[in-house]
């Protein structure tokens, strides 16, 4: 892979602040989230300048969910990135919590007693009712990553996604074991530069 991949998570949302599961559902960015998105774009612009890359030469790939669209619009304006609807890839959307989407932990515990304890016992393979496991997310994220890596042979790529699927993408890129993927951070005030078989955190 000749050029870097820059991997972003969306900025803080209202439901992030309330500690609600979002999955396929959405909530808008908070004021802090909008500031995070702007800082991501400004920091990316500096990274591109250091690497000698014009912003117009960066390929964008993103989740189609609203919180990522909002983050991308702000970050792209700050970095000078161009993108269109072809940039959005449903395989990059967040892992679904199914029936748990929109709920906070005490609500999940009350409606599905013991379910979270079962998930903690098998975090990788546990599937919430109507939702996805990490193992299932790998199946859709792997081909998306393969395409992104192929694009990075020609040009740098900026990928805007989510916390859970972002962990999976980084882990697959690094060839990390499941237990390490589950421990990976999910920052909203930093992004990752993937290149040369390594993932370097870039703080904003």
Nearest to 8 by CA among 162, 181, 152, 127: 162
- Find all residues with CB under 8 Å of 116, minimum gap 6, and list them: 105, 108, 109
Could you identify the residue written with the tokens 């999955």? Answer: 23
Coil vs helix vs strand at 163:
helix
pLDDT of 19-65, one tens digit each? Answer: 999 999 999 999 999 999 999 999 999 999 999 999 999 999 999 99
Spans of all domains in the chain? 5-12+29-95+123-203
162 is catalytic: no
Q: Which of 12, 94, 132, 195 is catalytic?
A: 94
Which residues pair with residue 119 across a beta bridge? none
How would residue 179 be classed by pLDDT, with cut points 50, 70 and 90?
A: very high
pTM value? 0.96
At the topology level, CATH places domain 5-12+29-95+123-203 in: Rossmann fold (3.40.50)
Answer yes or no: is pLDDT of 201 > 80: yes
85 is catalytic: no
Mean residue pLDDT of the chain comes to 97
């Amino acid at each position: 892979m000749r050029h870097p991949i820059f991997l972003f998570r969306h900025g803080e949302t209202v439901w992030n602040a309330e500690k609600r599961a979002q999955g396929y559902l959405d909530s808008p960015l908070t004021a802090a989230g909008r500031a995070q998105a702007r800082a991501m774009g400004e920091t990316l612009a500096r990274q591109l300048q250091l690497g000698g890359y014009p912003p117009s030469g960066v390929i964008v790939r993103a989740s189609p969910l609203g919180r990522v669209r909002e983050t991308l619009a702000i970050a792209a304006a700050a970095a000078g990135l161009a993108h269109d609807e072809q940039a959005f890839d449903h395989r990059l959307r967040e892992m679904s919590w199914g029936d748990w989407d929109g709920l906070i932990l005490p609500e999940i515990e009350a409606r599905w007693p013991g379910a979270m304890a079962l998930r903690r016992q098998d975090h990788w393979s546990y599937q919430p009712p109507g939702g996805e496991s990490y193992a299932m997310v790998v199946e859709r994220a792997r081909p998306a990553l393969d395409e992104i890596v192929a694009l990075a042979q020609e040009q740098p790529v900026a990928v805007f996604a989510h916390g859970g699927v972002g962990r999976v993408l980084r882990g697959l890129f690094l060839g990390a074991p499941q237990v390490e993927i589950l421990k990976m951070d999910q920052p909203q005030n930093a992004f990752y530069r993937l290149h040369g078989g390594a993932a370097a955190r870039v703080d904003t």
